[in-house]
């Protein structure tokens, strides 16, 4: 299956003719923006930290999308009589945390432990050329944006903020996709206090380990069974405090977690996922989209396609 197998039905199938589209001249398998040393580090360690990767302009669309969601939540809470002030002038960094002061996890989890709304700002982030250039260095220029993307508002003292040790692949164990690369981006400084990522390097070479849904917080996050986490692995844990705009790329088999938010503000982050176009598009999780193709550039999904949940552009007449 190649780009042509990413169809509007999300299924896999043989190449099909579409209009007069023809593959362009072959290009090198891998280009992109990462250096050879960075690619080697990613492949050895299972992750790569890219400081100062995105600037304020790059992050602005996603931040605006998040603020739109918070506006809706504030209106809901106000209508339900759970708050008296929607805090419309509160800063992005603290508003959501202040809205849920005095409320419980039940009220917060009513909106989900993470968000996957189709708001234009998220598409603009997922299709940002800086991100795609980095991904191209790892998997080549035929790039599919996986439907499992998450906006993570880690709110202080809410259970959904802490994520136990897990492999991302445990969320799609039967999918025929390898590799799936997570691009985790922080929209505020991620610190030890507000719950930064923690990685166990070089665990991406392990098979998918047995896992179960945790039962102690009410979130149902999946976690690696404790018998797999021996003291040798635990001694290798690396906390990753990073500045806003940093990107962390990692393999979907790498064992990682994040800790609770003990600050007074929200640790805003997103995790985006990308894979080669010749692999399972996982339609059971929603509609991903063709983000880049040197072979079939006319099929790359536009914002309008993404909003309509079309994995690729409509054929031209």
Pairing of strands 267-276, 143-145: antiparallel
pLDDT for residue 22: 38
73 domain-assigned: no
pLDDT for residue 267: 95
Whole-prediction pTM: 0.86
* Domain region containing 196: 32-61+117-307
In this prediction, residue 172 has a pLDDT band, given cuts at 50, 70 and 90, of: confident
**Distance, CA of 162 to CA of 155 (rounded, Å):** 10
In this prediction, residue 9 has a pLDDT band, given cuts at 50, 70 and 90, of: very low
261 domain-assigned: yes
77 domain-assigned: no
Residue with tokens 């179960």: 212
Look up the CATH number of the domain holding residue 137: 2.60.120.620
Picking from 50, 66, 118, the residue whose alpha carbon sits closest to that of residue 288 is 118
**Distance, CA of 294 to CA of 304 (rounded, Å):** 21
Mean pLDDT within 265-277:
95
What percentage of residues in the chain have a pLDDT greater than 90?
62
150 domain-assigned: yes
12 domain-assigned: no
299 domain-assigned: yes
209 domain-assigned: yes
The number of domains in the chain is 1
User: Token digits for 268?
Assistant: 């805003």
317 domain-assigned: no
In this prediction, residue 18 has a pLDDT band, given cuts at 50, 70 and 90, of: very low
Predicted confidence (pLDDT) per residue in 210-262, tens digit: 676 776 655 678 787 777 877 778 788 999 999 999 999 999 889 989 988 99
pLDDT for residue 234: 79
Largest CA distance in the chain: 61
């Amino acid at each position: 299956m190649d780009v042509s197998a990413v169809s509007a039905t999300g299924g896999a199938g043989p190449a099909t003719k579409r209009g007069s589209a023809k593959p362009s001249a072959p290009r090198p398998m891998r280009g992109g923006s990462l250096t050879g040393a960075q690619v080697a580090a990613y492949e050895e360690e299972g992750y790569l930290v890219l400081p100062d990767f995105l600037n304020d302009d790059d992050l602005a669309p996603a931040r605006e999308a998040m603020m739109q969601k918070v506006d809706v939540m504030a209106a809901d809470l106000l209508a339900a009589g759970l708050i008296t002030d929607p805090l419309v002038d509160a800063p992005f960094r603290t508003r959501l945390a202040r809205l849920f002061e005095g409320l419980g996890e039940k009220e917060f989890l009513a909106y989900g432990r993470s968000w996957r709304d189709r708001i234009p700002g998220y598409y603009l982030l997922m299709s940002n050329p800086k991100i795609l250039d980095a991904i191209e260095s790892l998997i080549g220029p035929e790039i599919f944006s996986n439907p499992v993307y998450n906006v993570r508002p880690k709110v202080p003292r809410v259970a959904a903020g802490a994520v136990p040790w897990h492999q991302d692949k445990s969320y799609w164990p039967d999918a025929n996709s390898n590799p799936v690369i997570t691009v985790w981006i922080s929209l505020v400084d991620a610190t030890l206090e507000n719950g930064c990522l923690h990685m166990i390097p070089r665990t991406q070479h392990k098979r998918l380990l047995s896992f179960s849904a945790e039962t102690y917080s009410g979130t149902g996050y999946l976690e690696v069974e404790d018998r797999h986490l021996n003291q040798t692995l635990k001694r290798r844990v690396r906390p990753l405090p990073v500045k806003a705009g940093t990107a962390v790329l990692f393999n979907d088999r790498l064992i990682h977690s994040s800790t609770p938010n003990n600050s007074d503000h929200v640790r805003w982050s997103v995790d985006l996922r990308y894979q080669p176009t010749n692999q399972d598009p996982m339609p059971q999780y929603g509609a991903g989209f063709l983000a880049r193709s040197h072979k079939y550039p006319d099929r790359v999904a536009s914002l309008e396609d993404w909003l309509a949940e079309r994995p690729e552009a409509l054929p031209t007449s």
